[in-house]
């Protein structure tokens, strides 16, 4: 019982210390709209409507937060999006 | 196998094919593409990130090299194996980014996005690069339509 309580407290502490990272795609004048939609579907697993919504946000506002969460997965997504040559950055949500 | 004919006059394709090959060669010489790693102060991780991406880009480029070497491409005919389409799509994006950054200085972003400008009023050398840029976009459009 005591052990379980300690374990649980430690997990909570770890969650509190682990910051949220945002994967942000920036606009560029080169990539085709349907290319960006396809990449969002392939890399992030978005449904078409969601992919189109984010593509439009990139196009109209210059950037879109396409994912947020733990650093490791955020890095994986950012890496894959960069591999597809989308201008992608990571931001720490402080 | 993915096969289609570009909706571009074959005289244009024949004219710009050598230019596309040249742009492809030139962009391959850029040894340090700017891929922002989230924490640049961590030099080792930033370098590992870039090196890994460079290796993957090399694989993409090799696929595009084979595609461009196919003599049918100069006649507007696109022919490739389905499992190579993603490599070629990515490599074409890289070439288009290179053309935009290095060869289309007189074009604004909005002109490129809307296509609303007078091509004859652009510098003659940049007109050819613009056509190459368009032909590559046409290849991408065709591939995406057949992959989805």
User: pLDDT digits over B40-72, tens only?
Assistant: 667 888 888 888 888 888 899 999 999 988 889
- Is a pLDDT exceeding 80 seen at residue B116? yes
Average pLDDT score over residue span B27-37 = 65
Q: What is the pLDDT of residue B40?
A: 61
Which among A38, A84, A92 has the least Cβ separation from residue B144? A38
| Tokens encoding B36 | 């922002």
Q: How far apart are CA B6 and CA B77, in angstroms?
A: 6
Q: Do A30 and B96 touch (CB under 8 A)?
A: yes
Give dist(CA A74, CA B36) in Å, integer: 13
Map chain A to HEC letters: CHHHHHHHHHHHHHHHHCCEEEEEEECCCCCCHHHHHHHHHHHHCCCHHHHHHHHHHHHHHCEEEEEEECHHHHHHHHHHHHHCCCCEEEEEEC
> Average pLDDT, stretch B103-127?
88
Q: From chain A, which residues contact B within 8 Å (Cβ)?
A: 21, 28-32, 34-35, 38, 75, 78-79, 82-85, 88-90, 92
| Chain A: closest CA distance from residue B96 (Å) | 7
Token reading at B83:
């499992």
Summarize pLDDT for A38-85 with one digit per residue, the tens.
999 999 999 999 999 999 999 999 999 999 999 899 999 999 999 999
Give the whole-angstrom CA distance, residue B97 versus residue B131: 14
Residue A17 has pLDDT above 60, yes or no: yes
pLDDT tens across B121-143, in order? 888 888 999 999 999 999 999 99
Residue of B76, B81, B85 lying closest to B134 (CA atoms): B76
3-state secondary structure B5-16: ECCCCHHHHHHH
A30 contact residues in B (CB cutoff 8 A): 93, 96-97, 100, 112
Q: Which chain A residues are Cβ-neighbours of B141 within 8 angstroms? A: 32, 34
Structure-model confidence comparison of residues A93 and A43, the more confident one: A43
Instruction: Establish if B89 touches chain A: CB-CB under 8 angstroms.
Output: yes
Closest CA–CA distance from residue B108 to any residue of chain A (Å): 9
- pLDDT higher than threshold 80 for residue B33: no
Q: In chain B, pLDDT over 70 holds for what percent of residues?
A: 91
Instruction: Give the nearest partner residue to B90 out of A29, A83, A90, using CB atoms.
Output: A83
B107 compared with A4, residue with greater pLDDT = B107
Binding-face residues of B in 118-137 toward A, CB within 8 A? 137
In chain A, which residues have their Cβ closer than 8 Å to the Cβ of B109? 29
Neighbouring residues of B55: CB distance < 8 A, sequence distance ≥ 6: none
In chain A, whose CA is at the least distance from the CA of B145? A34
* pLDDT at position B18 over 60: yes
pTM of the predicted model as reported, rounded to 2 decimal places:
0.86
pLDDT of residue A58: 95
Does residue A16 have a pLDDT over 80? no
């Amino acid at each position: 019982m005591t052990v379980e309580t300690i374990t649980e407290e430690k997990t909570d502490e770890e969650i509190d210390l682990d910051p949220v990272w945002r994967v942000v795609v920036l606009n560029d004048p080169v990539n085709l709209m349907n290319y960006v939609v396809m990449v969002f579907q392939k890399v992030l697993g978005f449904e078409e409507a969601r992919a189109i919504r984010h593509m439009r946000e990139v196009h109209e506002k210059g950037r879109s937060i396409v994912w947020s969460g733990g650093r490791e997965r955020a890095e994986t997504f950012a890496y894959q999006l960069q591999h597809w040559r989308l201008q992608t950055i990571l931001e720490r949500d402080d | 196998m993915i096969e289609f004919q570009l909706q571009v006059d074959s005289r244009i394709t024949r004219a710009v094919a050598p230019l596309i090959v040249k742009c492809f060669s030139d962009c391959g010489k850029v040894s340090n593409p700017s891929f922002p790693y989230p924490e640049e102060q961590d030099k080792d991780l930033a370098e590992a990130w870039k090196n890994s991406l460079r290796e993957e880009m090399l694989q993409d480029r090799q696929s595009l090299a084979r595609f461009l070497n196919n003599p049918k491409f100069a006649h507007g005919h696109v022919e490739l194996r389905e499992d190579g389409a993603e490599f070629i799509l990515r490599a074409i994006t890289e070439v288009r980014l290179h053309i935009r950054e290095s060869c289309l200085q007189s074009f604004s972003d909005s002109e490129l996005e809307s296509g609303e400008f007078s091509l004859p009023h652009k510098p003659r050398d940049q007109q050819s690069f613009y056509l190459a840029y368009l032909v590559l976009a046409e290849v991408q459009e065709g591939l995406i339509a057949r992959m989805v």
